[in-house]
């Protein structure tokens, strides 16, 4: 059995969905629309599938490959314009050639989901949202591994974490590697695609959150579709880009790990190392009098990208034994001077801590440079590895820029030697600090 799949092209009612990817690549419950159709046709007995596309055929081809994962032979064929089913049948289906005989379902325009022909996906955002809600009970296909159903009408994907104080209201769907923070309410009628991070407390109802999207604390989504920093009201069709990354932003990995400290920054580190030597000598003397070593040696995992296939690399750094506050990091100025650390980045992690980063969002920590100071420091999480510090580190890896770096430096210099506040104090001050740091990017 052979099948023709026609990719939809221009659909003014959902124009924003096709900005980054062509419409057949739009993710629906963790799978592209074209993936959903190829899988369906393969289950129906198709062994040779041709995908006809006009918009960005290279991206469609990259998504589906050669069809091996479905056990079919797959071709992606570029077209000059979108064909109707009758036009496609007349062009590609010839009786008696290649044994391909016309059948009622041999040509499909992929403007709906399999089994839901009455639910057109692309007439409007409201239609798209309604089609996803109708498809929700069918989303748990046999190939999905690790999907749990903690309550009727609630599905949670593999490696997703939900805080004990968060509530999931049916019907709702959480994809893979989703993180939901304390106090958050998800649902009813909420769909969170793969690798979404919700910083609690937040509320999402009658809404869809696209893959790799960050939703900040105290944010409420209702009757909306959010993807990256794009926010769409599916009822009215209005769309806006949210300028505040602490409210809504994309979580695509960046090249921050490749940032290097400038020559001026290295010279500044050497100068500060010399100026603060008397303070550090007092800590060394204290260690000598107590018979202890003056320095603690540590090993940190070097930043790396997901495409880096080299074995894990480590860098040595030191801390002052009998010092407090920022002075404990005095030896790390030498790492900055050598170009191993940046002035601002994410704090170093040991190999054991790096293995403790369990989700894609948390592993963003390692995509930023190792820093003498970090966003977590500015937020009061001094040398911490808790969930809050992980969120700040991952957020910095995605949103880092020079203005944010200067804001972090200003905050840590204004609070020299300040000890880390307790959890209650951080909870009380965190929204205010988030607001002040977000202004750095205005």
DSSP-assigned states of every residue in 99-139: T----TTSEEE-SS-TT-TTS-SSS-HHHHHHHHHHHGGG-
The fold of the 148-250 domain, in CATH, is UDP N-Acetylglucosamine Acyltransferase; domain 1 (2.160.10)
% of the chain beyond a pLDDT of 90: 49
Which pLDDT score, from 0 to 100, does residue 437 have? 47
Please tell me the predicted confidence (pLDDT) of residue 157: 93
**Positive/negative CA dihedral, 403, 407, 408, 412:** positive
DSSP codes joined into one string, 57-101: HHHHHHHHTTSGGGTSEEEEEE-SSPPPHHHHHHHH--TTSTT--
Q: pLDDT category, 259, cuts 50, 70, 90?
A: low
Stretch 16-41: mean pLDDT, rounded?
91
Best CA proximity match to 13, nearest among 126, 131, 109: 126
CA 31 to centroid of chain Cα atoms: 16
CA distance linking residue 271 with residue 248, whole number of Å? 39
Q: What is the pLDDT of residue 422?
A: 41
pLDDT (average), residues 30-59: 91
CA nearest neighbour of 349 among 341, 360, 339, 338 = 341
Q: What is the mean pLDDT of residues 211-231?
A: 93
What is the location of CATH 2.160.10.10 in the chain? 148-250
pTM of the model: 0.63
């Amino acid at each position: 059995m052979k099948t023709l799949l026609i990719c939809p092209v221009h659909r003014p009612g959902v124009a924003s969905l096709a900005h980054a990817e062509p419409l057949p690549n739009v993710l629906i419950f963790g799978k592209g629309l074209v993936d959903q159709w190829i899988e369906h046709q393969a289950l129906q007995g198709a062994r040779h599938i041709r995908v006809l596309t006009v918009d960005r055929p290279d991206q469609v081809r990259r998504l589906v490959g050669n069809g091996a994962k479905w056990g079919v032979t797959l071709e992606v064929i570029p077209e000059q314009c979108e064909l109707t089913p009758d036009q496609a049948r007349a062009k590609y289906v010839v009786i008696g050639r290649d044994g391909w005989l016309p059948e009622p379902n041999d040509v499909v325009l992929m403007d709906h989901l399999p089994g839901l022909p009455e639910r057109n996906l692309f007439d409007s955002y409201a239609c798209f949202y309604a089609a996803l809600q109708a498809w929700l009970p069918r989303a748990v296909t046999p190939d999905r591994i690790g999907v749990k159903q903690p309550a009727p009408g609630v599905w949670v994907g593999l490696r997703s974490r939900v805080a004990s104080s968060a509530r999931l209201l049916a019907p709702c769907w959480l994809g893979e590697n989703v993180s939901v923070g304390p106090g958050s309410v998800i649902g009813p009628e909420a769909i969170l695609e793969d690798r979404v991070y919700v910083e609690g407390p937040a509320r999402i109802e009658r809404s869809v959150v696209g893959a790799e999207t960050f939703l900040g604390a105290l944010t409420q989504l209702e009757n909306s579709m959010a993807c990256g920093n794009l926010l769409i009201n599916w009822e009215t069709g209005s769309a806006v880009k949210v300028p505040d990354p602490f409210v809504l932003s994309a979580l695509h990995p960046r090249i921050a790990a490749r940032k290097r400290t400038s020559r001026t920054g290295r010279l500044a580190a050497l100068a500060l190392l010399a100026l603060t030597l008397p303070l550090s000598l007092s800590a060394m003397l204290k260690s000598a009098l107590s018979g202890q070593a003056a320095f603690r040696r540590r090993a940190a995992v070097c930043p790396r990208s997901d495409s880096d296939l080299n074995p894990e690399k480590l860098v040595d750094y030191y801390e002052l034994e009998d010092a407090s506050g920022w002075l404990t990091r005095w030896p790390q100025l030498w790492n900055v001077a050598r170009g191993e650390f940046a002035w601002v980045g994410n704090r170093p992690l040991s190999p054991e801590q790096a293995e403790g980063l369990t989700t894609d969002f948390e592993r963003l920590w390692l995509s930023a440079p190792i820093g003498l100071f970090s966003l977590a420091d500015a937020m009061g999480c001094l040398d911490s590895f808790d969930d809050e510090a992980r969120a700040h580190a991952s957020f910095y890896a995605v949103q880092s820029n020079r203005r944010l770096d200067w804001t972090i430096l200003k905050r840590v210099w204004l609070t020299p030697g300040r000890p880390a506040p307790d959890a209650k104090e951080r909870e009380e001050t965190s929204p205010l600090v988030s607001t002040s740091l977000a202004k750095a990017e205005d």
